[in-house]
Amino acid sequence: MSLRLLENAPLAGLNTFGVAARARRLVMLEDERDLPQALAALADGPRLVLGAGSNVLFAGDFDGTILLMRTRGRQVLGDGHGAPFNRIAVAAGESWDETVTWTLEEGLAGLENLAMIPGTCGAAAIQNIGAYGVELCDRFDSLRAVDMDSGEAREFGLADCRFDYRDSLFKQAGGRHWLILTLRLRVGAGQRPVLQYGELASALTAEGGPPGEPVAARIAAAVRAIRSRKLPDPTVLGNAGSFFKNPVVSAEAARELRVREPGMPGHPVTAAGEDRVKLSAGWLIERCGWKGFRQGDAGVHQAHALVLVNHGQASGREIAALAERIRQSVHERYGVWLEAEPSIIGGS
């Protein structure tokens, strides 16, 4: 299959915010046999790898080449050298949520808490996606990537990827030259249900399900129900899901904040060997009065303060400006800087 290349490419249909922007050049990779041509196209000027566009905000045009990952392929590899799980391999361009559904159809548990997260499998590893007590790194086996500068192919194990909260080597400046090609995960009978979130446990009970239905399928259905209630469908209302990461602060800082805000939610975590607290970005934003805010077509979702939305014709620049106003507001009130989850591309 020949490599697809488009000059002055429109991007509105390639990002879930639905904002209008253009790329100087767009290269679509559907077959790994075209990888050498794709890497050659990326050698000229700035470059950007794009999956489903669910974790990016184009605040302006991109004066470079975008590689659109559309590779396909999924397979069950086996039992992981005698361990009580199977390994699966999925191409980076595969839909993450369709992959979760496929594992459940194959009778393989482990990814159900991550159902309905948008994006591709390659992007899932870059972002170290997580929801309801499970992160991608908890199910990670290995991945295969290629150096976009040298063409060198390499295998990455768990430690190599430097996974952290919504972060990985591939998201950091020193690792962005790696293009993920194949992701391998550990799923199956060895993965126990994760129900530490009360909301999920309650929803699981409420959802019920057919007699004899596997618990993993029931958990996935409950997760989908929760996310459908909370998060707007990007095909109806442009958004990228949660726009800000939940900030992690020192235990002392959390105690000081709770003196002022006794009801402030927070979850103890350990980061870099220290006891810290993960705060709720949505709660902080809502307390600052942003929930349901709208200026023009850029706004904050009326049901979830963590979701920025495009009501129709907002530009990426307008949404980015709103995000910055929210960041400043939260910092002024709580002394906490929020960090955006999506990559903000273009603009000044």
Distance CA 141, CA 157 (A): 7
242 assigned to active site: yes
341 assigned to active site: yes
Specify the residue for token string 């559904």.
Answer: 101
Specify the residue for token string 């459940």.
Answer: 104
Would you say 199 and 226 are in contact if contact means Cβ atoms under 8 Å apart? Answer: yes
Distance CA 317, CA 8 (A): 19
Tokens representing 170 are: 């591939």
Tokens representing 33 are: 């046999």
Q: Which of 242, 276, 287, 318 is catalytic?
A: 242
48/133 same-domain check? no
Q: Which residues partner with 55 through β-bridges? A: none
Of 187, 211, 228, the domain-final residue:
187
Of 187, 205, 227, the domain-final residue:
187
- Domain boundaries, position 29: 4-69
Residue 15: give its domain's CATH number: 3.30.43.10
* Number of domains forming the structure of the chain: 3
Asked if residue 46 belongs to a domain, the reply is yes
Distance CA 284, CA 111 (A): 29
Tokens representing 41 are: 């196209």
Distance CA 23, CA 60 (A): 9
Other CB atoms within 10 Å distance of the CB of residue 227: 16
Asked if residue 232 belongs to a domain, the reply is no
Asked if residue 99 belongs to a domain, the reply is yes
54 assigned to active site: no
Distance CA 304, CA 282 (A): 7
Residue 132: give its domain's CATH number: 3.30.465.10
pLDDT score recorded for residue 85 = 76
Would you say 344 and 319 are in contact if contact means Cβ atoms under 8 Å apart? Answer: no
Distance CA 135, CA 152 (A): 28
Asked if residue 37 belongs to a domain, the reply is yes
Asked if residue 200 belongs to a domain, the reply is no
HSE-CB of 73 using CA atoms within 13 angstroms: 13
Of 151, 171, 187, the domain-final residue:
187
Q: Which of 87, 166, 224, 276 is catalytic?
A: 166
Distance CA 181, CA 183 (A): 7
Alpha helices in 94-208 (DSSP H): 96-105, 121-127, 158-161, 198-207
Each residue's pLDDT expressed in tens, for the chain with a length of 348 residues: 578 899 999 999 999 999 999 999 999 999 999 999 999 999 989 999 999 999 999 999 999 999 999 999 999 997 655 566 789 999 999 999 999 999 999 999 999 999 999 999 999 999 999 999 999 999 999 999 999 999 999 999 999 999 998 999 999 999 999 999 999 999 997 788 999 888 888 878 776 666 657 899 999 999 999 999 889 999 999 999 999 999 999 999 999 999 999 999 998 987 667 889 999 999 999 999 999 999 999 999 999 999 999 999 999 999 999 999 999 999 999 999 999 999 999 875
State residue 135 phi and psi, 5-degree precision.
-115, 155
pLDDT score recorded for residue 202 = 84
44/83 same-domain check? no
Q: How far apart are the first and last CA of the chain?
A: 38
